[in-house]
Amino acid sequence: MGALLERHEIPVENRWTIREMYPSQEDWERDFEATKGLINALTAFMGKVGASADTLRGAVDAELALSRKLSNLYAFAKMQLDEDTRVGEHQALVSRMESLSVAAQEAGAFLVPEIMAIDTAIMSLYLGAGPLADYKQYLHNILRFKPHTLSEKEEALLAMAGEMASAPSTVFEMLNAADMKFPEVEDSKGNKIQLTHGNFIPTMESQDRGLRQAAFRGYYKSYQDHIYSMASLLQSEVKKNQFFSRARNFKSARAAALFENHVPVKVYDQLIEAIHRNLPKLHKYISVRKRMLGLEEMHMYDLYVPLIPSVTKKIDYETAKAQVLESLEPLGEAYVETVKAAFDQGWIDVYENAGKRSGAYSWGTYDSKPYILLNYQETLDSMFTLTHEMGHSMHSYMTHHVQPYLYGHYSIFLAEVASTTNEALLNDYLLKRVKDKAERLHLLNHYLDQFRTTVFRQAMFAEFEREIHEAVETGGALTADGLKILYRGLNEKYYGPDVVIDDEIAIEWARIPHFYYNFYVFQYATGFSAAIALSKAILGKEPGAAERYLEFLGAGRSAYPIEILKAAGADMASGAPVDEALELFGELVEEFDQLTQA
């Protein structure tokens, strides 16, 4: 494999056009200086926010203008750096923006407390006034935090505790990323491989079972060597969440975490209940995997190996674009035309180059194109990454074109719905057209593993997170042995009787950074489930399904996320979308099983 191309060697048509945001450095510097004036314009409202409806609107508008300018400056600086992370000038711009953002945040810290301090009766009058007619959802979202907001001095104390509160996750990251040492393992040909975080999962996908076993045992041995420190850190994280939730008058840490997006706690519980109802379908898939791998005993280190390794078909970028476009046709001509424009008008930075940031993302601002960074590799995964990120970008595009800046962004609870809907449409498109049996099995295996890792596995993480918080909140303690027993039991429940639950998997919780994200992971499972339910309705040509979905894409923050999804056709408060998504999973498992025996 040759050396990576330098940035200037990548064809212009395969690079994004982010310099439309700031054609010259002088343009960026001009906005940077102007932002300082916007900070002053905002601070001029300090102590006056509640004086009148007009003043309240003026203060909010000043904050929005500042936020909008900061967003443009920072996104451009960071995306420019991501093109080639070696460029010192680009590093400097990002550093300057981080400092300016902190200054702006400190300067505007008065706004929300002053809004909350407005007398309830007066605020009711303000909300009925003309100047605030379009600001009701925005203000209601602030005011609902009022019962959980403390006095100025208490809030200052909590803010001061913020740096200490980040200690568990900071120490975990340092221990996990810097201090953790992994052994060398040997494959069947005698080649030595130094295990790392980056190559652990690829090693688990190897056809060499001896290598998988050695890597699995060696990797988790490193965590076992630090298990008491890891347990202590996780307990500290849980106690931190408990402290802040009690300080803010929430019933539990989970209630506090879900309050941010106005998501009822029952949505979390119903996800786990729906997963439990559908575990037999996962057990059936595991049984099929075991049979196809020809194993007398299936172990945890056998779960990631591809079942159809013979399919290595290359998919060039032009082919991927054409197939993605055709797969999106159920969403209507206008949607497809916009995606065509995205391909033709510089939304996408396609190929890897020396110094370019790894991975993929969709990013931009309310005023820019919703740009996409890729590192396209001509694989099936790369094609799915393309449609996934295009889903994000189309969600942003529609939101920006329908909503004012005030509501022109979407909640994190909704963030993975559009991207996963695109993937579901592509899966359906490919499965309907594939003629080769091995290729069809490869596609089904890919799709089923998406379900396994994004819905079942993330729900298991969510259940573990719920259990450890409830244990601490009812006066219990988290010990290394107790955590291992709990985590092992969950693996036994989720993966079923056809897997040997190796002792090492009981340690897996120690390596999962998401357990320091405060009840975040359940949203992967809810987002995926909602997307499958919505895509099923669209593909089934249910009356109004596509139209409701397009309205969902344009809803932004004009309502709460649960309401937005319900209007689109996915009532997450009922648990039905999870059952519906897993009904599809069950159908795919049955087809996969029959094909493998035909």
Catalytic residues: 389
Residue 506 is encoded by which pair of tokens?
């009981």
Query: Residue 349: phi, psi to the nearest 5?
Result: -100, 105
The amino acid occupying position 69 is: K
| Euclidean distance between CA atoms 411 and 415, whole angstroms | 6
All residues at 6 or more sequence positions from 315 whose CB lies less than 8 Å from its CB, including other chains: 323, 378, 379, 380, 382, 383
| Rounded CA separation 196/177 (Å) | 10
Contacts 24+ apart (CB under 8 A), 102-108: 103/39, 104/35, 104/39, 104/66, 104/70, 107/39, 107/42, 107/43, 108/39, 108/42, 108/43, 108/63, 108/66
Rounded distance, CA 311 to CA 325, Å? 23
Three-class secondary structure assignment of 339-400: HHHHHHCCCEECCCCCCCCCCCEEECCCCCCCEEECCCCCCHHHHHHHHHHHHHHHHHHHHH
Whether residue 511 contacts residue 225, with contact meaning beta carbons closer than 8 Å, is answered with no
Helix (H, G, I), strand (E, B) or coil at 136: helix
The continuous run of DSSP H or E covering 316 comes out as: none
Beta bridge partners of 494: none
* Residue 1 DSSP SS3: coil
Look at residue 494 and give its three-state secondary structure.
helix
The phi, psi pair for 565, rounded to 5°, reads -65, -40
Check residue 179 and report its DSSP letter: I
Place of tokens 């992971």: 521
SS3 readout for 266-301: HHHHHHHHHHHHCHHHHHHHHHHHHHHHCCCCCEHH
Q: How far apart are the first and last CA of the chain?
A: 39
- Sign for the pseudo-dihedral over CA of 91, 93, 96, 101: negative
Residue owning tokens 């900071």: 170
Q: Are 525 and 454 in contact (CB under 8 A)?
A: yes
- What type of residue is 87? V
- What are the backbone angles phi and psi of residue 345, rounded to the nearest 5°? -115, 25
- The SS3 of residue 193 is strand
- β-strands 361-363, 184-186 pairing: unpaired
d(CA 264, CA 556): 19
Q: How far apart are CA 387 and CA 328, in angstroms?
A: 9
Residue 193 phi/psi, 5-degree rounding, is -125, 125
Rounded Cα distance, 444 and 589, in Å: 8
Instruction: Report the C-alpha gap between 141 and 157 in whole angstroms.
Output: 24
| CB-facing half-sphere around the CA of 493: CA atoms within 13 A | 19
Contact of 278 with 488, CB cutoff 8 Å: no
